[in-house]
A and B are shown apart, each in its own frame.
Chain A
Amino acid sequence: MAVLDVDDISIRFGGLQALGNVSVKAQELEIVGLIGPNGAGKTTLFNCITGFYRPNDGRVRFLGVDVTEIPIHQRAAMGMGRTFQQVGLVKGATVLENLITAQHTKVEYSAGAGILGAGNTWAEEKVLRQRAMEILDLVGLAHLAHRRVAGLPYGTMKNVEMAAVLATDPEILMLDEPTSGMGPEESHTFGDVLLRLRKELGLTVLMIEHHVPLVVAVCDYVYCLNFGQLLTEGKPEDVRTHPEVVTAYLGEEAEEVA
């Protein structure tokens, strides 16, 4: 059974067919890449999977359950973790606070009990804090625990964001351009971290990524989107050398030059 099974998704915005009959699968412990030029619909696909957009057509199955109709927070509670292209963090809070906030669905006391300061809330708070520190250790960010997010460099924020999503204890980790704002050196390190996380946490990963060497290095399988359609899919090497993929990217570069 696939962890994530996106079946024949279509969505329109007015006259624009942002996604047309897109199907994507991620098997357990796979790292799946999603590539394609800007505006291809990659982020839109993420939004459909996680519930931010309602697709006009198609189903999303997660861990064998059809989640197409259920709200965002419930999908998150089931174990869908995602990052945002524009860094999704509570920027006024510290790194540690973000990681504690992200454990929302893991908290065992009720909201009311917390406000009343009842019973196990105090002890539980310690546990949350500890777990947050463990995750920060795991991704090598412990030294930033008490820094306010707003002041951090963009690349670091991206890492913190991923740590926060890890704190939600996800089954699948969906990353939207995780290495944007990082240099080649950093993104190489990031690849290693990702491989290690998969092994240690047993994660399945779906990753939007432009950085081709990274995709080739870590992904088990790759989908390429263009103008809302699946252009091709397969092993990274095959997709990379696929003639249509090459022209799609070349077309974009030509536009950028123009």
Chain B
Amino acid sequence: MAVADAVLDHPDSAERAKSVVRWIPRLAAWGVLAAFLLVFPLSLETFHAQRWSLGVVFAIAALSLNVLIGYAGQISLGHQGFLGVGAFVSAYVVTVHQQTFWVGLLAGALSGAVASLLMGVVALRVRGLYLALVTLAYGRMAQETLFNLGIFGKGSGVEAPRPALLLGDHAFYYFSLVVLAGVLFFNWRFVRSKAGRAVSAVRENEQVAASYGIPVSRYKLIAFVVSGAFVGLAGTLYAFLNGRVDSQGINFEMALFLVLITVVGGLRSPAGILVFTALFEVLPTYVGDYFGIRWSFWLLALGPALLIITLVFYPGGVGQQIKPITSWMTGGPFRVHHGEQFVQEGVSGRP
């Protein structure tokens, strides 16, 4: 499912959209989903509203990682390091340079893109397993050194005060949703336009891509930039959600958590990634509430097991499993054996 099957409509798209009647149940389903995402959170108290926001933040970060692993076939085990760059730079710009939150948001996206671009330059020379290692080492270096630099408070972190408009945790949740919607839009346009197609072609076969006139290196870098901008936005939200940012939580566990929700959610399947992130980030909170903290540890152990099971048995992830539903929701038929099998490509895209 290379250029994502979203790239082109299903063959019967022409007949499909015509009938208004068949859209009624679908619209109802969309309505229920919207109510759940928009109305239900109003009833949440602070702690849970923040957890939901965090879920949205991780969903954005996972969509970012999906651009790299899923579309570009480049591995990153240091993605938290780019999230951190966005978080620290946006907080720094707002706190130290007295800029508005909106400038901070822009700075977060830009700095994430630049940091990721630098890694992209490395990725032009260093590939596969070795790139995994470099990104891992980058993440650690970022946590130990970069995020403890003098400008970032020498280890004590940086304040990230929310603007008045977003002071409330519910307001912040809705704002995060807006950012997520933006990222989904750009992701959609990316996949359905020149850049996304070129990146996918490069992933599958660099030589063929070049013979189509695609500058291979440039499109690898473009993938890193897009991914970096997305995760920079996630980083900004992360910082301002907490009100401050320090290097503590931005660690390798976060990197693996991001890989986990991306891969289990389903490479090249934004819908699957969103669904699984919601399940895996928000659900443990409630499990912790009702059954005690030790159960969250067990859930923590369940995650990697899910990852391995996905890699071995369901390389399409949750996205593949919910295909009948997503197809139906977008106006297609509800078919259990929808389309062809996920092409087994693994995480890297190329052996």
- A contact set with B: CB distance below 8 Å: 50-52, 71-74, 76-77, 81-82, 84, 88-94, 96-97, 100-102, 104-105, 107, 109, 111-112, 114-117, 121, 125, 129, 145-146, 148, 150-151, 164-165, 168
Residue of A with least CB distance to B199: A111
Tell me whether A104 and B185 are in contact in the complex, defined as CB-CB below 8 angstroms, given that A84-B207, A115-B190 are known contacts: no
- Closest CB pairs A-B (n = 5): A114-B193, A92-B2, A76-B213, A105-B213, A93-B2
Q: Chain B CB within 10 Å — which of A84, A90, A105 has the most?
A: A90
Distance from B277 Cβ to chain A, minimum over Cβ atoms (Å)? 22
A76 to B215, CA, bound (A): 10
B146 at the A interface (CB under 8 A)? no
- Closest CB of chain A to B172's CB: distance in Å? 26
Total CB contacts across the A-B interface at under 8 A: 127
A92 closest partner in B (C-beta):
B2
In whole angstroms, how far apart are the Cα atoms of A148 and B345 in the complex? 15
Q: Which residue of A lies closest to B340 (CB)?
A: A148
A104 near B189 with CB under 8 A, answer no
Task: Say what secondary structure dominates the interface of chain A.
Answer: helix
User: Which of B192, B213, B340 lies in contact with A125, CB distance below 8 A?
Assistant: B192
Residues from chain B with a CB closer than 8 A to the CB of A129 are 8
Assess the B211–A116 pair: CB atoms within 8 A.
Answer: no
Judging by beta carbons under 8 Å apart, are B8 and A96 in contact? Answer: yes
The reply to whether A101 and B197 form a contact with Cβ atoms under 8 Å apart is: yes
Interface contact A146-B226, CB-CB below 8 Å: no
Q: Which residues of chain B have C-beta atoms less than 8 A from A76's C-beta?
A: 210-213
Is there a chain A Cβ closer than 8 Å to B282's Cβ?
no
For chain B, the count of residues having a C-beta within 8 Å of the partner chain is: 38
Report yes or no: B205 in contact with A88, Cβ–Cβ below 8 A. yes
* Chain B contacts with A in 184-234, Cβ cutoff 8 A: 185-186, 189-190, 192-198, 200-201, 204-205, 207-216, 219, 222, 226
The answer to whether A115 and B193 touch across the interface, beta carbons within 8 angstroms, is: yes
Q: Given the complex, which residues of B lie within 8 Å of A52, measured CB to CB?
A: 207, 210
Given A76-B210, A90-B200, A111-B193, 11 more contacts at CB 8 Å? Answer: A84-B208, A90-B3, A92-B1, A92-B345, A93-B204, A96-B8, A111-B198, A114-B193, A115-B196, A117-B189, A125-B192
A92-B343 contact, Cβ under 8 Å, with A77-B213, A114-B190:
yes
* A73 engages B214 (CB within 8 Å): yes
B7 within 8 A of A: yes
- How far is it, in angstroms, between the C-alpha of A109 and the C-alpha of B189 when the chains are bound? 13
Q: Which among B1, B3, B197 has the highest number of chain A CB atoms within 10 Å? A: B197
State the majority secondary structure of interface residues on B. helix
Question: Are A104 and B198 closer than 8 Å at their CB atoms?
Answer: yes
Complex contact B213–A107 (CB within 8 A)? no
Taking the closest CB of chain B, its distance from the CB of A196, in whole angstroms, is 24
Within 257-285 of B, Cβ neighbours of A (below 8 Å) are at none
Find out whether the CB atom of A115 lies under 8 angstroms from the CB atom of B8. no
What residue in chain A is nearest B219 (Cβ atoms)? Answer: A111
Query: What is the CB-to-nearest-CB distance from A208 to chain B, in angstroms, rounded to a whole number?
Result: 15
Given contacts A72-B210, A96-B8, contact A111 B343 (CB under 8 A): no
Given A97-B2, A101-B201, A115-B195: A89 and B208 interface contact (C-beta under 8 Å):
yes
Please tell me which one of the listed residues A97, A112, A151 contacts residue B340 in the complex, with CB atoms under 8 A apart.
A151
- Nearest CB in chain B: distance from A84 CB, A: 7
A-B contact pairs, 16 of them (CB 8 A): A50-B211, A73-B214, A73-B215, A88-B211, A90-B208, A92-B2, A93-B2, A93-B200, A100-B197, A101-B201, A111-B219, A114-B194, A115-B189, A115-B226, A150-B340, A164-B212
Chain B residues whose C-beta falls within 8 Å of the C-beta of A104 in the assembled complex: 194, 197-198, 212-214
Chain B residues in 8 Å Cβ range of A109: 193-194
CA gap between A146 and B115 in the complex, in Å: 38
Which partner residue on chain A sits nearest B198 by CB separation? A104
Question: With A73-B213, A73-B214, A121-B189 in contact, do A107 and B8 touch (Cβ < 8 Å)?
Answer: no
- The answer to whether B2 touches A88, judged by C-beta atoms less than 8 angstroms apart, is no
Given contacts A92-B343, A93-B3, A109-B194, contact A168 B212 (CB under 8 A): yes
Does B11 have its Cβ within 8 Å of any Cβ on chain A? yes
Complex contact A90–B204 (CB within 8 A): yes
Chain A residue at minimum C-beta to C-beta distance from B216: A73
Name the contact of A91 in the complex, choosing from B7, B210, B343 (C-beta under 8 A).
B343
Which chain B residue shows the least CB distance to A118?
A: B189
* One of B7, B195, B226 near A97 (C-beta < 8 A): B7
In the complex the two chains form, is A114's CB within 8 Å of B340's CB?
no
A132 smallest CB distance to B (angstroms): 10
Known A91-B343, A92-B343, A151-B340; contact A121-B193, beta-carbon cutoff 8 A: yes
Chain A contacts for B197, CB-based, 8 A: 97, 100-101, 104
Q: Is the CB of A168 within 8 A of B189?
A: no
Given contacts A146-B8, A146-B11, contact A88 B195 (CB under 8 A): no
A101 to B196, CA, bound (A): 9
Which of B198, B215, B222 is in CB contact (< 8 Å) with A101? B198
Q: With a CB–CB cut-off of 8 A, which chain A residues contact B205?
A: 88-91
- Give Cα A164–Cα B197 distance, bound, in whole angstroms: 14
The CA of A150 and the CA of B347, in the complex, are separated in Å by 18
Contacts of B192 in A (CB 8 A): 125
Taking the closest CB of chain B, its distance from the CB of A107, in whole angstroms, is: 5
> Which residue on chain A has the smallest CB distance to residue B188?
A117
Cα–Cα distance between A91 and B343 once the two chains are bound (Å): 9
